[in-house]
Amino acid sequence: MSAQIIDGKQIALDVRAGVAEKVAALKAKGITPCLAVVLVGENPASVSYVTGKRKALAEAGMADRSEVLPENTSEEELLSLIDKLNKDDSVHGILVQLPLPKHINEDKVIMAISPEKDVDGFHPVNVGNLVIGKKAFLPCTPHGIIVLLERMGIETSGKHAVVIGRSNIVGKPVSLLLARKETNCTVTICHTGTKNMAEITRQAEILIAASGHPHTVTADMVKDGAVIIDVGVNRIPDSTKKSGFRLIGDCDFDELKEKASYITPVPGGVGPMTIAMLMYNTLEAAENKANA
């Protein structure tokens, strides 16, 4: 058996095309969805992510109010900028690129963003609404995973989903989304304190790997026909590449593709969905404002 590869690139393009159509319709009514991406410092990975987000904004026809601040920007200066963006009615979404320099408190910054503009879905109000099943901005990567399952026509109702990882960015929110009535999975979370992890992962019909370590999941840990969603992005040295490294996930892709029914590649699986869902959330923020 060879797994069907889930083409996250193509699904993300489809989502973004749908967003661009709705943006054009809003613009015809005189409303241009606008996102401010705030970057502090020059972390190479963050610079690359922000460049990707800004390119996606331009392609979707949205306004880009991004701000790049020096590494030595004070916490007070950053909070003051967020306050200004919160009060600006022409800005619909605010995203502060993490991680922040060590002298800035990330929690304080997340709390400062207005929940109505928190298109990352990290503000406690949005997290709380997700938990109790009310309307909220859903975190982009977890929401992207759910959209991948839906677009591939993968049956989720009544299935046992195992999530490896309990981060606030992926593990916890994707577990909540999988357990919602619409998705209807039975969910188990594994983490660094889990004993006999392989025994649990072998029960998974849907396995979400978000541990942040390469080759966390090997073929002996997975049952035949499982659906594998690999969220990991790990850089490993590779002298054959111009960059000197290549990206791999948390799963042993080559082994698992012979055992799974569906699997996401790294890169080109979950990654492209994150930016697509950010565009989706920014559009939703603009629509919410228009309907208010």
Mapped to the 3 state alphabet, what secondary structure does 199-263 carry?
HHHCCCCEEEECCCCCCCECHHHCCCCCEEEECCCEEEECCCCCCCEEEECCECHHHHCCCCCEE
Binding-site entries for NADP(+)? 165-167, 233
| DSSP state, residue 116 | G
Residues 6+ apart with CB under 8 A from 183: 146, 149, 156, 157, 177
Half-sphere exposure of 226 (CA within 13 A, CB side): 29
Strand partners, 163: 189, 208
Question: Nearest-5° angle of CA 131, CA 13, CA 58?
Answer: 95
Q: List active site positions.
A: 53, 97, 120
Q: With contact defined as beta carbons under 8 Å apart, do 86 and 114 qualify?
A: yes
Token representation of residue 40: 């502090």
Q: With contact defined as beta carbons under 8 Å apart, do 66 and 51 qualify?
A: no
Question: Nearest-5° angle of CA 156, CA 158, CA 163?
Answer: 65
Q: Report how far residue 202's alpha carbon sits from residue 185's, in angstroms, rounded to the nearest whole number.
A: 16
Q: Please, where are the H alpha helices in the chain? A: 8-28, 44-60, 75-87, 106-112, 124-132, 140-151, 171-179, 197-201, 253-256, 271-291
